[in-house]
A = this chain, B = another copy of it.
């Protein structure tokens, strides 16, 4: 696999020189001296900075020169670049972010985990269809169980958004090839009751960050309690390897990045604070998605049965036209 590094060629080149030839084989540089800063309004930044690294990387995917893009930059910048330069898939109103949360024993795909803060019911239905195809590739599940994140188990729970999305997700299930397992509550997420959990991007972003934060705090509390306990140091020595293993298993960074789904190219969004190994995972993930024909799978799945399609179109008409979906709210 060849990797093209997109960025300021002076900075990137100097770093490659420092590492030496043996460490950098298979790497080339495409110059992109501009940067979308974290504080910038992403859509405007992408429009006014044609030489920003995310824009140039998206162009390489759009032209077919690269098979995928990976970025740890501003999420909004990645979204806007991918949507405007690579383009939405036909039939997709709102590209969305799918993230694998590595709950022990039961990884789940959370979609949308941050692209669309405000959603309509048919957007959530789209997320379900996209998430199901992604789960086949990312989790290796043949017929994913798709659930709707809600505040109660029974149908009819939640706001109007969730009530209508419930109906649409149930209707689309047979033709899109997933099993709809109804409403999923917050405490169900770590239990693996669903392979794919659908929610709006606001809730998804909160869920993702809270799960990370809580896992970290609980482990931290444990280590603190051990270090203060009489038998702690002795036990810690006995358990050093196990604790490291648990930390590793619970580390969301280990999974690499999140996928932006619904655009005509593979786009992996890595964490802004990624370590070298996280970036490696993210690049590997992008490459695996190409090999697994993720895009083809999504295109096939979007050619869903006429019933479900009519229903989704009707709903889209009834609740208004989709807005740009770009990352200004991410």
Contact = CB atoms under 8 A, between A and B. Distances in A.
Given A104-B220, A117-B162, A234-B238, 13 more contacts: A104-B218, A151-B206, A151-B330, A186-B205, A187-B216, A188-B209, A191-B217, A218-B219, A218-B250, A226-B239, A229-B242, A231-B238, A232-B239
Contact of A221 (B104, B188, B209, B239): B104
A229 B221 contact: no
A138 to B, nearest CB: 20
A189 B218 contact: no
Contacts of A18: none
A215 to B, nearest CB: 5
B189 A213 contact: yes
Contact of A215 (B103, B218, B330): B218
A295 B1 CA distance: 66
B207 A210 contact: yes
Interface of A: 39, 103-105, 114, 117-118, 149, 151-152, 154, 157-162, 185-191, 199, 201-203, 205-222, 225-226, 229, 231-232, 234-235, 238-239, 241-242, 245-246, 249-250, 329-330
A210 B210 contact: yes
Contact of A214 (B214, B225, B235): B214
A130 to B, nearest CB: 20
Contacts of A249: 221
A261 to B, nearest CB: 18
A104 B215 CA distance: 12
B159 A117 contact: yes
Contacts of A218: 104, 214-215, 218-219, 250
A246 B217 contact: no
B212 A225 contact: no
In order of increasing CB-CB distance, the 10 nearest A-B pairs are: A186-B209, A187-B213, A231-B238, A186-B210, A190-B217, A151-B205, A187-B209, A235-B235, A118-B159, A214-B214
Contacts of A226: 239, 242
Contacts of A158: 117, 202, 329
29 contacts: A105-B221, A117-B158, A117-B159, A118-B161, A149-B206, A151-B201, A151-B206, A151-B329, A152-B330, A158-B202, A185-B205, A186-B205, A186-B211, A189-B210, A190-B216, A191-B217, A202-B203, A203-B203, A211-B214, A218-B218, A221-B246, A222-B222, A225-B242, A225-B246, A226-B242, A229-B241, A232-B238, A235-B238, A235-B239
